[in-house]
Structure 1
């Protein structure tokens, strides 16, 4: 983080101060049930109602272990056009150990409304109870469900996007690598919002993000496995980016893991794959919490939604 950088506005400054008070080394040492209790109270302080015209229903996806829960958001304002909606599979952030579809309800609902797409927000399995690759396999199960049953739910599996923020961006990128290597449906676009893609962290500390915090999350996600060089666990370790879907990467200027997204976009482009990029100046990690409070945060989400809208519209024109 550049020492001369400063928060975009007062809401951002207050948010950074609040986050730094909550997410400390003492927080990381608490029992997991207590970490999650505090996290839930934290995100609820920044919650707000969904935009008008967005509905959500609980979906159960059958998997070998039982059921995978998800929330399916629809832009009801589209009326009859909503019968064949493009769909975004969304992975929430939270360091692989925290969060749920509910914790990311506001930005996901706004994505649904602004991009004009359905969004399937996954309640994937969390570490440390479930280590890699459990969350990734939940994502694969969601993709299979969209392909198998999506049309019966008014979804278009031929216009499929994956997206996520922070640890969720990691899962979205890892899923695209897995599908490239093992086979699966075509992914139109991967949208990574301040993604965590390697174990390394740049100097600096913002909104509760530090090398110590990232190490805490990674240790829980890996369990006792040595996965720093596993591309599906840490996508920047992939030897080749050839054959991946186009991307759109959103980073934040005040985020110590900004280089992760920046490097990912560069590597996609070097592989000849189109990748849009935006950096939210004056914004920290987890700025999606502020889309209703900070115009700068709202602009970054709008850029992601515009990229999704352009990709699904181009695909609709291509097959028409």
Structure 2
């Protein structure tokens, strides 16, 4: 089946409204015009981008009051493939008197940037506001560890959670995965892999997901935001080109990289998908939501 033939009429209507979705909000326009140094574009060497992300993170920690009440936080180390060790951070509501749902969470950063600290606040908010256990995964980063290292670490984290749910009073019948950008890519791919391997995931939170990295298929599907917003602040088209080069998959059209191109969406868990209107990744997130909705 050609991927260009599988989007619904409703999805076509969404995509045709790109001008409406892509309007710049006056508050953002004013903020960006006065604070361009606070909103870096993610183009450069791995070293320079990691330094930039660290500086942005430190400024954010200074300005935002930490969330310390109503939860307990534990740092853990687990074994991934071939005995490689990766770090996890576990957030549990406190006090916790019953088994709770769990979300295994993957940070964003183009498979090359980010760490447990980058979305620590997000994980704390999820834990406290929803009342769930959150397991944040410090997966290995490209280019030092190219594809499929991050994906293998994601699978190892899922297996670790399911192996001993009593450890953190987890209800395995409410196992969720989630992430931002490249982290949402890992979460989405994990759902496809889990279905094939007979492992049940009950829900997925995909925030501005990366789900189609094959240019020919992107064009065939009629997706345009990557070109339409090729020069936006923070993430631009060149950012994604370099991130994919560092991730270095054998085939960008493989569903373990571009899950939008999967031919079977039946049986995948319910999804909550967030997009940004003026974002290169917007259209693939809309198209992925459409594929899931069509599958029921």
* TM more than 0.5: yes
- Cα RMSD of the aligned pairs, angstroms, is 2.3
1:89 deviates by 0.1
Corresponding residue for residue 6 of structure 1: 24
**Distance 1:107-1:16 versus aligned 2 partners, 3 A rule:** farther
| Separation of aligned partners in 1, 2:124 and 2:136 | 10
Q: Is residue 203 of structure 1 aligned with residue 228 of structure 2?
A: yes
Q: Partner residue of 2:90?
A: 72
For residues 83-137 of structure 1, what are the alpha-carbon distances to aligned partners after superposition, in whole Å with 9 as ceiling and x for unaligned?
4121100000011000011111111111111111010000001001111111111
Structure 2 match to 1:263: 287
From the superposition, tell whether residues 217 and 37 of structure 1 become closer, same or farther in structure 2 (CA, over 3 Å).
Answer: same
Q: Which residue of 2 aligns with 1:231?
A: 255
1:53 and 2:70 equivalent? yes
TM-score relative to the length of structure 2: 0.81
Which residue of structure 2 lines up, in the alignment, with residue 94 of structure 1?
109
- What is the aligned residue count? 262
Aligned CA distance change for structure 1 residues 92 and 11 (closer, same or farther; 3 Å) = farther
Q: TM-score, normalised by structure 1?
A: 0.76
- CA distance, structure 1, for counterparts of residue 37 and residue 191 of structure 2: 31
Any idea what the Cα deviations from partners look like across 1:55-78, whole Å, max 9, x if unmatched? 2110112233232211001121xx
Within the alignment, does 1:35 sit opposite 2:49 as a pair?
yes
The structural deviation recorded for 1:189 is 0.4
- Once the two structures are TM-superposed, the CA of residue 208 in structure 1 deviates from its matched residue by 1.7
Q: Are the equivalent residues in 2 in contact too, given 1:7–1:13 (CA < 8 A)?
A: no
Aligned twin of 1:85: 100
2:103·2:177 contact (CA, 8 Å) conserved in 1? yes
Task: Name stretches of at least 5 consecutive residues in structure 2 with no aligned partner.
Answer: 1-17, 219-225
| SS class of match (1:242) | coil
> For the Cα contact (< 8 Å) 1:202–1:259, is it kept in 2?
no
Aligned to 1:311: none
Contact (CA 8 Å) 1:197, 1:236: kept in 2 or not? Answer: yes
SS at match of 2:120: helix
Following superposition, the deviation at residue 10 of structure 1 comes to: 5.0
Q: Establish whether residue 152 from structure 1 lines up as the match of residue 177 from structure 2.
A: no
Distance 1:8 1:46 in 2: 22
In 2, distance between residues paired with 1:12 and 1:253?
A: 17
In structure 2, the CA distance between the partners of 1:17 and 1:220, relative to structure 1 (3 Å rule), is farther
Instruction: Tell me, in whole angstroms, the C-alpha distance in 2 between the residues paired with 1:218 and 1:16.
Output: 31
Question: Compared with structure 1, are the counterparts of its residues 60 and 15 closer, same or farther at alpha carbon in structure 2 (3 Å cutoff)?
Answer: farther
Runs of 4+ deviating beyond 6 Å: none
CA contact (8 A) 1:227 1:234 kept: no
Q: Give the SS at the match of 1:119.
A: strand
Aligned equivalents of 2:162 and 2:56: distance in 1? 36
Question: For residues 97 and 166 of structure 1, what CA distance do their matches in structure 2 show?
Answer: 12
CA distance in 2, matches of 1:80, 1:125: 31
Q: Which of 188, 194, 214 is residue 240 of structure 2 equivalent to? A: 214
Q: Quote the Cα distance in structure 2 between the aligned partners of 1:24 and 1:168.
A: 16
Q: What is the alpha-carbon distance in structure 2 between the residues aligned to residue 172 and residue 112 of structure 1?
A: 18
